[in-house]
Amino acid sequence: MKHLLTTDGLAEDAATAILDTADELKRTLLGREVKKLPTLRGRTVITMFYENSTRTRVSFEIAGKWMSADVVNVSAGGSSVGKGESLRDTALTLSAAGADCVIVRHPASGAAHRLAGWLADVGTSVVNAGDGTHEHPTQALLDAATLRERLGGLKDRRIAIVGDVLHSRVARSNVHLLATLGAEVVLVAPPTLLPVGVGSWPVTVSHELDAELPALDAVMMLRVQAERMHGGFFPSAREYSIAYGLNEARLGLLPEGAVVLHPGPMLRGMEIGSAVADAPQSAITEQVRNGVHVRMAVLYHLLAGEGEQ
Amino acid sequence: MAPRPRGATEPAAERELLSAGDVARTIARMAHQVIEKTALDSTGAIPPVLLGIPTRGIPLATRLGARISEFSGVDVPTGALDVTLYRDDLRRKPTRPLEQTQLPGTGIDDRVVVLVDDVLFSGRTIRAALDALRDHGRPRVVQLAVLVDRGHRELPIRADYVGKNVPTSRSEEVSVLLSDVDDRDAVLLGERR
Amino acid sequence: MSEIVIRGARLYGEGDPVDVHVADGTIAAIGTVTASEDAEVIEADGQVLLPGFVDLHTHLREPGREDTETIDSGSAAAALGGYTAVFAMANTDPVADNAVVVEHVWRRGREVGLVDVHPVGAVTVGLKGEKLAEMGTMAKSVAGVRLFSDDGHCVADPLLMRRALEYSTALGVVVAQHAEEPRLTVGAQAHEGERAARLGYTGWPSSAEESIVARDCVLARHAGARLHICHVSTTGTVDVLGWAKGLGIDVSAEVTPHHLLLTDERLATYDPVNKVNPPLRADADVARMRRALADGVIDCVATDHAPHAVQDKDCEWAAARPGMLGLQTALSIVAETMVRPGLLDWRGVARVMSERPAEIAGLPDQGRPLAVGEPANLVLVDPDAEWTVRGAELASVAANTPYEGLRLPAVVSATLLRGRITSREGKIG
């Protein structure tokens, strides 16, 4: 594996290998005082974040450091990026400076693909840490790791993704990965927050959250971004919350053992009730913890082997 | 990027070094040696911890432990120690899947730890195992038990317990088969494919 | 003036090869010709002779972006592509919204002399869609502007569009609309459909084009005006055009070569050489464009030749500018998509690439029949030859093209502008 750009097209055995590695890493590190493995000693990992995201960047940084890679963080604000340097030039510069892997978050869909193309000759690996409204593959992998842990597996499990699917890279990555791993996915959203063309996705679509909840093994709540609330996608935050928010009453509709996920950051009281986020069904803090192990696993699969296979 | 399946590949043209009966006898003999060297038959002795190195070191450690318990009457904690993350040759091969690490509840601090592996060759796996052990705790003594020592060491490492010394050439391959993971017990020698 | 004999050409690709004698800028004789000794001979060897092509939609980028194209380089690309007249869009810097700029473009075209460069005037001042530009002054200037368009921007305000159409009737000019309802394309990056949804591109819905085309047909009907629709790209637009033409509304339409060939399948690469406005559409749209061009619901092919600098293309998709080169590949793509499948014969190619665009723009000396006494604006096409597109070898300043490495049929052997050779065997003049 050279790059991790999408879960669309990621083979089942490749995805499972990453998840298995993440599980092993988690077990290996459990209870250890020294949370550091020598595996990626001497490898340089650069994070390039063109959007603010403390949680994802920190998760990648910890993952790299626990694998003993040298991690350098570049943020758009404090670098030549802010001086108008193109993404291409920045990437080539960082690669020439010795990066073995570039982890990129960018507002343009496809930015990670472009980066991988520009860096094809120099052999630098690219990890997509979120590109526009396209994909966020490590988020889907950590969600899958969390669901595997809680549910024992994903085959034939029924999982709802609720909310702003149209603008969500988390939703796209999860749709593909969950389908690859054998889960049934149902998207629950108002029609205005579903993309035109969703009919070709390996999912079913619903506009009635209450009708779906009793048959679910897990429900994944998407963040509703503030700008959507003013963009006319739905009449009001109140009406959205009434129809699609996961409140305590709805939590009661879920079968026993069902899991609640949220990629964060949460808008408590909007798409998810505060008590719901803290309920035993909620796996939200496990998601964050698993995020580090999954990202360690991704770096392991990209950087530990002999490279191009 | 599917990881390469690992494990013993039967050599192309093979010669049997140890039969199933030989394997059983060899493990029994090694068990006696461990009991003697760790003074397990003396009163109040603290039993060693056996850690198998995946893949075949794990069933080997289990069997060795069972024999030791049988002969000494003392329960011997066994576990598994994966060294993949500590190897120095990762970049020379396709990405390997991680194997399981499972330390016994007793822990390893201040214990005698016996690393168990099927074949001792370059010594690099054992070097990695020593590094891995250091991250898990501080044993009092670390020893090494191998079913076959085939020579060609690249590091100053030697085994404390050896089932059989086998002179080999580098072009040859030694395969240990254990019925726990293979179809039978045997040690085979053949040309590398 | 020198004499030229085109020996053994098949007019419109029909009948037996004949000689065509060109003298004094006109076709002097057709048949078996005995020319004077100093006449230049072009051995046609049975190749196809057509009237020179007319492009209603070209971006020559001068003034303002001479780093991507100039009137020199763009004229050369046109001559090499078989064109004898091009219409240079108004979105230059400064904008061609006044007589000074259009006369400058017209004059520079004359100086270069490889193709008739007709400036398009802006409909609104600065292309801002707020206030009509001085259409009358531009129409009556030396440049004699016949076509007005805010191309790149839609004249979205219905009242302003109504006024522009009404006003145009007194001048005998055509308003060409870039049909894109801007409220429906905020942030749009690619054709709204299955592929964009999966790849995370903000969608450019077909309805944004179709709603403006329908509205403008209705406005043109009430104003009694002529309307031209730029770069038609959707099935629904063809439906609307069929309806409007059935009612006798005076509307014409163009399709680009890229909308005849490429689909949104190209989105998967995220390579902005494929970024264009309107965007590459779905497979069904492309099939419909071809049929509509064959049927005449779409009148003609126009290139929307839009050169961009490498830094505006070799970047992430959202940051890239929309547009692609077209002048030197248009004929070959029409041959590939229309002639090869049997949708058009070469007479049909003459219609959609020369005669109809000349009629729409009201050019009296272009798109004329291949007959004695007609102006010698001609293109000789080798229909059997193939070539491989190499952006760096094209005449344009910009070199990026979505057709890079593509093998295409039909090669321009020679182009004649008023009896003078402007390109021959891939070389200028």
Helix (H) or strand (E) holding B70, with range, is: helix B57-72
Residue B35 to residue A142: CA distance in whole angstroms: 46
Chain A residues lying within 8 Å of B2, measured CB to CB: 11, 13-14, 17
Farthest-apart Cα atoms in chain B, separation = 53
Q: Is A196's CB within 8 Å of C205's CB?
A: yes
pLDDT digits (tens, 9 = 90+) for C391-429: 999 999 999 999 999 999 999 999 999 999 999 999 998
- Average pLDDT rounded to a whole number, residues A250-274: 93
% residues pLDDT > 90 (chain A) = 80
Threshold 0.95, pTM exceeds: no
A–B contact: 3+ Cβ pairs < 8 A = yes
| Rounded to 5°, angle at Cα A296 from A290 and A299 | 140
Residue A107: DSSP 8-state: S
Whether the bond between A255 and the residue before it is cis, its omega within 30 degrees of 0, is no
* Min distance A248 CA to chain C CA atoms (Å): 33
Residue A263 to residue A225: CA distance in whole angstroms: 13
> How confident is the model at residue C1, as a pLDDT?
52
For residues B13 and A272, the model is more confident at: A272
| Chains contacting A (3+ CB pairs below 8 angstroms) | B, C
Is B100 in contact with A27 (Cβ distance < 8 A)?
yes
B32 touches chain A (CB under 8 A): no
- pLDDT at res. B13: 64
The verdict on a CB contact (< 8 Å) between C203 and A131 is no
Cα C283 to Cα A206, A286, C194, C304, distances in angstroms = 28, 44, 11, 20
Question: Which residues of A define the annotated binding site?
Answer: 55-56, 83, 105, 136, 139, 169, 223, 264-265
The percentage of chain C sitting over the pLDDT mark of 90, rounded to a whole number, equals 98
Residues on chain A touching C284 (C-beta within 8 angstroms): none
Domains annotated for chain A, with CATH where assigned, are: 12-135+291-303 (3.40.50.1370), 137-287 (3.40.50.1370)
Contact C317 A110 (CB under 8 A): yes
Q: Is the predicted pLDDT of residue C364 greater than 90, yes or no?
A: yes
Whether chain A has a CB inside 8 Å of the CB on B121: the answer is no
Q: How many residues does chain A have?
A: 309
Interface test with B, best of A28, A32, A298, A299 (most B CBs within 10 A): A28
Q: Closest residue of C to A5, CA-based?
A: C199
The two structure tokens encoding residue C213: 């085309």
DSSP classification of residue B11: P
pLDDT above 70: residue B3: no
At residue A308, the pLDDT reads 45
First to last CA, chain B: 23
Residue C264 falls in the annotated catalytic set? no
Q: Do B82 and A24 touch (CB under 8 A)?
A: yes
Stronger pLDDT, B152 or B2, i.e. the higher one: B152
- Nearest alpha-carbon partner for C354 in C371, C324, C377: C377
Model pLDDT for residues C204-244, shown as the tens digit of each residue = 999 999 999 999 999 999 999 999 999 999 999 999 999 99
Chains contacting chain B through 3 or more C-beta pairs under 8 A? A
| Beta-carbon separation of B1 and A301 below 8 A | yes
Chains C and A touch (3+ CB pairs under 8 A): yes
How many Cβ atoms from other residues are within 10 Å of residue C94's Cβ? 12
pLDDT at position B42 is 84
Percentage of chain C exceeding pLDDT 70: 100
- Number of Cβ within 10 Å of residue C131's Cβ equals 11
Q: Could you read off the pLDDT of C116-162 as tens digits, one per residue?
A: 999 999 999 999 999 999 999 999 999 999 999 999 999 999 999 99
Residue C209 has φ and ψ, to the nearest 5°, of -80, -50
Q: What is the pLDDT of residue C179?
A: 98
Q: Nearest Cβ partner of A39 from B90, B97, B136?
A: B90
Residues of A at the annotated binding site for carbamoyl phosphate? Answer: 55-56, 105, 136, 139, 264-265
The pLDDT value recorded for residue A227 is 73
Cβ pair C69, C62 in contact under 8 A: yes
Mean pLDDT of A191-197: 96
Catalytic pick among C72, C304, C312, C382: C304
Domains of chain B, by residue range, sit at: 14-39+47-191
Calculate the dihedral angle through the C-alpha atoms of C33, C34, C36, C41, rounding to the nearest 10 degrees: 50
Please report which residue ranges of C179-205 form alpha helices under DSSP H: 194-199
Residue B5 confidence (pLDDT) above 50: no
Q: Hey, which residues does C4 pair with through a beta bridge?
A: C22, C40
pLDDT value at residue C352: 98
Q: pLDDT per residue over C380-390, tens digit each?
A: 999 999 999 99
The answer to whether the CB atoms of B91 and A21 lie below 8 A apart is no
CB-nearest to B2 from A14, A21, A32 is A14
Pick from C145, C45, C163: nearest CA to C90: C145
DSSP bridge partners of A261:
A220
Q: Is the distance from CB of A251 to CB of A229 less than 8 angstroms?
A: no
In chain A, which residue ranges form alpha helices assigned H by DSSP?
12-29, 54-66, 87-96, 111-118, 137-151, 169-180, 209-212, 226-229, 237-244, 248-251, 274-277, 284-303
The correct CATH number of B14-39+47-191 out of 3.30.420.40, 3.30.70.20, 3.40.50.2020, 1.10.1060.10 is: 3.40.50.2020
Q: Could you tell me the domains of chain C?
A: 4-48+375-385+405-428 (2.30.40.10), 52-361 (3.20.20.140)
Q: How many CB pairs under 8 A join A and C?
A: 74
Strand order in the sheet with A70-75: A70-75, A44-49, A101-106, A125-131
